[in-house]
Amino acid sequence: MDKKGGKRLLRRFFGPLMPFFVLVLGLAGCGGGGHDTQLNNDLIRRTDKFFDVAHVSGDVFVTVGYDGRILRSENGGKTWQEIIPRPADWSLTQVNFVEDHGWAVGHNGTIVHTRDGGKTWTPQQSGTNKTLFAVSFADKLHGWACGDESTWLWTDNGGETWTAERIEVSQLGLSEETSLAVPDIIYYSVQFVDTQNGWMVGEYGNIRHTSDGGKTWDSQHGSLLEELVEKGAAEGRDVMALGAFFRVHFTDKDHGIAVGAGGAIIATDNGGQQWRWISREGGKADIPSLHLYDIAMPGQDGRLVMVGTNGLILTSTNGGIDWQSAKTPGGVFTWVNGLAFGENGKGVLVGGKGLILLTEDAGQTWQTLTGEKG
């Protein structure tokens, strides 16, 4: 396997989305054109791929990406410093902080941990070599991660020890024929709002939920299939009709939203007992049928910011019902994979071709590190 990403990872990660993802992620950084990137002593290059960013505290942000790179900013993203030596050789896919304690996960079961706000990092033993796509901590002790081949992990001691398990494939929406085609699920996102209540989302519209810290998991995508049947979709009873969900975000144990392939957006206000479609495959005029990778809330006023492929950045002021394009610098055509917000409307988003954009107005307007505004 290629240590820098891996042919098997491309096959597993992109699955039914292969045509899009091989083009966008597999070739990210190649070719000309695109945004104007500020070179910080050659720290940030067009060949860079940043997969996630997290807010630590104040104006401190941390971004992770390809080849184990970790960058840290203390001024809201205006300048960055790389963590040297790199604590991991493998690409890092997501990072999560609880105060100054942070964890990043990635390829080959990689987990690294910091206790000082991202200044220094040490490896943790995950107990698996599966690719991990997401990590969520409810406090400094209780954390969960998920990834390839139905793999999920948990810890109750801050990652000093991790337990790797395999979650059984949900049979909800699977026929006898399709069950043979779904031997396992890739889970792309996990979030826990406390030590008991959490959600994982992934391939084939799978939504898994636990109310006991992961001891048991139920399936919540049934209401989405039922809604498709009610709307007359012939394939509505088959889980194969559902694309992948790439990110789930809950504000509390009742209110959540998830985004995914083909412009898919779903929401719930009862902890996932009932999910409803907001958008799917171009069915809503203000949401293109492009893949959506992340969604965040810059404040407590119902505003949402969502990012995806082709430089897509959308904002909503009414909880995701209606969306408008954010103002961005010209020439941003690469994928945007992660975003995070700090205090006073400051935020950072990251993506392919070394993309880092900054905002100071809760995501309405974005600018490059050079100061070029949307």
Q: What is the pLDDT of residues 61-85, one digit of tens each?
A: 999 999 999 999 999 999 999 999 9
Residue at 287: amino acid letter: I
- Reading the block at residue 218, the tokens are 């139920």
CB-CB contact of 81 with 98 (8 Å)? no
Sequence-separated (6 or more) residues with CB below 8 Å from residue 363: 298, 303, 305, 313, 315, 326, 339, 341, 345, 347
What CATH number corresponds to the domain at position 256? 2.130.10.10
Which pLDDT score is estimated for 22?
31
Q: Looking at the domain assignment, is residue 374 inside a domain?
A: no
Q: Looking at the domain assignment, is residue 139 inside a domain?
A: yes
Q: Looking at the domain assignment, is residue 218 inside a domain?
A: yes
Alpha carbon distance 313, 128 (integer Å): 35
| pLDDT, tens digit (0-9, with 9 covering 90-100), for 155-168 | 999 999 999 999 99
Q: What is the DSSP string of 249-317?
A: EESSSS-EEEEEGGG-EEEESSTTSS-EEEE-TT-STTS-SS-EEEEE-SSSSS-EEEEESTT-EEEES
Torsional sign, CA 115, 120, 125, 126: positive
Pairing of strands 132-137, 122-124: unpaired
Q: Looking at the domain assignment, is residue 142 inside a domain?
A: yes
| pLDDT, tens digit (0-9, with 9 covering 90-100), for 101-125 | 999 999 999 999 999 999 999 999 9
Task: Assign 3-state DSSP to the chain and report helix, strand, coil percentages, each to 5.
Answer: 15, 35, 50
**Widest distance between CA atoms in the chain:** 57
Confidence of residue 36 (pLDDT cuts 50, 70, 90): very low
Torsional sign, CA 71, 124, 253, 295: positive
Alpha carbon distance 4, 24 (integer Å): 17
- For the chain, the domain total comes to 1
| pLDDT, tens digit (0-9, with 9 covering 90-100), for 182-195 | 889 999 999 999 99
82 or 24: which leads in pLDDT: 82
CA angle 36, 21, 297 (to 5 degrees): 65
Alpha carbon distance 355, 208 (integer Å): 32
How many Å from the N-terminal Cα to the C-terminal Cα in the chain?
Answer: 41
CB-CB contact of 90 with 96 (8 Å)? no
- Reading the block at residue 361, the tokens are 């107005």
- Strand 143-147's sheet: what is its strand order? 132-137, 143-147, 151-155, 163-166
Q: Is 222 strand, coil or helix?
A: helix
Confidence of residue 232 (pLDDT cuts 50, 70, 90): confident
Q: Looking at the domain assignment, is residue 88 inside a domain?
A: yes
CB-CB contact of 29 with 47 (8 Å)? yes
Residue 87 belongs to what domain range? 21-359
CA 308, chain centre distance (Å): 10
Rg (CA), the chain: 19
**Residue 176 backbone phi and psi in degrees, to 5:** -60, -35
Q: Looking at the domain assignment, is residue 259 inside a domain?
A: yes
CB-CB contact of 71 with 78 (8 Å)? no
Confidence of residue 364 (pLDDT cuts 50, 70, 90): very high
- Reading the block at residue 4, the tokens are 């820098």
Sequence-separated (6 or more) residues with CB below 8 Å from residue 337: 50, 51, 52, 293, 294, 307, 350, 351, 352
| pLDDT, tens digit (0-9, with 9 covering 90-100), for 284-324 | 899 999 999 999 999 878 899 999 999 999 999 998 889 99
Beta-bridge partner residues of 231: none
CB burial readout 308-343, b (16+ within 10 A) else e: bbebbbbbbeebbeebeebbbbeebbbbbbbbbbbe
Q: Looking at the domain assignment, is residue 15 inside a domain?
A: no
Q: Looking at the domain assignment, is residue 2 inside a domain?
A: no
230 or 11: which leads in pLDDT: 230
